[in-house]
Amino acid sequence: MGRSSIMASLDLGSSKVCCMIGEISRSGEIDIIGYGMAPTTGIKKGNIVNIEAMVRSIVEAVEQAEQMSNAKVSGVLVGISGNNVTIINNRGVVAIPRSDREITLQDVERVLQVARIVAIPPDREIIEVLPKQFIVDGCDGIRDPVGMVGTRLEVEASIITGQLTAIQNVVRCVQKAGLEVEGVVLKSLAAREILLSDDELDMGVALVDVGAGTTEITVFRGDNIALYSLIPLGGDYITNDIAIGLRLPYSQAEAIKRRYACAMVSLASDKPDIEIQSIGESTTRKISQKELAAIIEPRVQEIISLIYKELKNMNYRAVLAAGAVLSGGGLLHMRGALEMAQKMLGIPVRAARTDMYGYDHTFTVALGLLYYGYKQRSFTERDGAREKNTFSFLEKAKRILREYF
């Protein structure tokens, strides 16, 4: 990102667009000064299907954030996901030509650039290069080689690529909204900064984000992505099942899901206390939560079974020592969802939660993108203020968001 004191992020989701603005002080600290959200119909199954609708939503979300912050945004860091994202493993090697043989940040940047030189189809573009480990003169398992002495620096890296046209459509939408794209980041990398602990990452953990239209699965081992997959199924399908099963308008089905949904019939109440009015009926009637759960449970089982299908190709029970973390608004609010996921997957499953705003994940990716971009800046500083600034950023974020959630 650029060196402006203003940083902004943009999360383009299936049901909403979120923008967040942060300001970096002269001392290097960052304050969250504004955020905005707008509904959207421009994305389906992780892909942009209506550019004009997406542009309108971006403009609305950014204007809200600008009004709150009293700041003008010129560029944004954008989160991206999609079933067109793939991961390629590659290596890079450079020599350390200087007489003192001390490895510098520039050497790390050089070896990562070499790792980027990989044959990819002309319809794909590199989004990110993630180092798995560095190797100095044959000594492997090194996370940060800067300051070490050696004659040969190697890196094993994961190259994240995306479909060129999908990325171009994202860039086009942002540009038509009057903004520049300062960087594109995989959404799960941004969410990782907020939702996962270092211990979980070291042990191996799956971050499962069940959104409105898609379910994103990312397996982390350390700083590396071992698996990435996007399932074109999410919480909207549950809403649609309710709307069809009870003959309700979609908006009413969504409201009932948010208030009464239970993922397991065995945990639901049989008391008829949910009042509905089906399409074509002149009077209301009451149903029980158990009747509602009978509609919901099969779809939740389908979503979790598809998650299992993606994970089973790897020895995931051994790889995911820390289990799985369930995030997103598609399932997390439902009673019984965690229990069902844990039973069907056979590993520990916890709900994603932050100290900032609990289980409401509206701004998780937008906030994670800011933190991700800020950390990239901090990485280049290499001074004692780095840890202080990171701590300050999170503490200020917590205070700001507690006021509104």
pLDDT score of 224: 85
In a 10 Å sphere around its CB, with 0-12 CB exposed, 13-18 middle and 19+ buried, how is residue 345 labelled? buried
Q: In this structure, what token pair is assigned to residue 8?
A: 């902004």
Q: Is a pLDDT exceeding 70 seen at residue 234?
A: yes
Average pLDDT over residues 271-280: 93
Q: Does domain 86-163 have CATH number 3.30.1490.110?
A: yes
CATH homologous superfamily, domain 5-81+165-195+355-382: ATPase, nucleotide binding domain (3.30.420.40)
Output phi, psi for 362, to 5 deg: -55, -45
Q: Is a pLDDT exceeding 70 seen at residue 226?
A: yes
HSE, side-chain direction, 13 A CA sphere, residue 344: 21
pLDDT score of 386: 38
Q: Is a pLDDT exceeding 90 seen at residue 61?
A: yes
Q: Is a pLDDT exceeding 80 seen at residue 170?
A: yes
Q: Is a pLDDT exceeding 60 seen at residue 118?
A: yes
Architecture of domain 215-351: 2-Layer Sandwich (3.30)
Share the mean pLDDT of the chain.
87
Q: Is a pLDDT exceeding 90 seen at residue 29?
A: no
Q: Could you tell me which residue, 83 or 330, shows the higher pLDDT?
A: 330
350-395 confidence digits (pLDDT tens)? 998 765 554 467 888 898 899 888 877 665 554 334 344 444 445 5
pLDDT score of 356: 55
Give residue limits of the domains in the chain: 5-81+165-195+355-382, 86-163, 215-351
200-224 confidence digits (pLDDT tens)? 999 999 999 998 889 999 999 887 8
18 forms beta bridges with 11, 37
pLDDT score of 222: 83
Compute the distance between CA of residue 363 and CA of residue 36 in angstroms, rounded to an integer.
Answer: 9
Largest CA distance in the chain: 87
In degrees, to the nearest 5, what angle opens at C-alpha 54 toward C-alphas 49 and 60? Answer: 165
Compute the distance between CA of residue 318 and CA of residue 301 in angstroms, rounded to an integer.
Answer: 23
HSE, side-chain direction, 13 A CA sphere, residue 278: 10
Compute the distance between CA of residue 135 and CA of residue 170 in angstroms, rounded to an integer.
Answer: 36
Q: Could you tell me which residue, 65 or 1, shows the higher pLDDT?
A: 65
**5-81+165-195+355-382 and 86-163 share one fold:** no
In a 10 Å sphere around its CB, with 0-12 CB exposed, 13-18 middle and 19+ buried, how is residue 212 labelled? buried
Residue 234 DSSP class = -
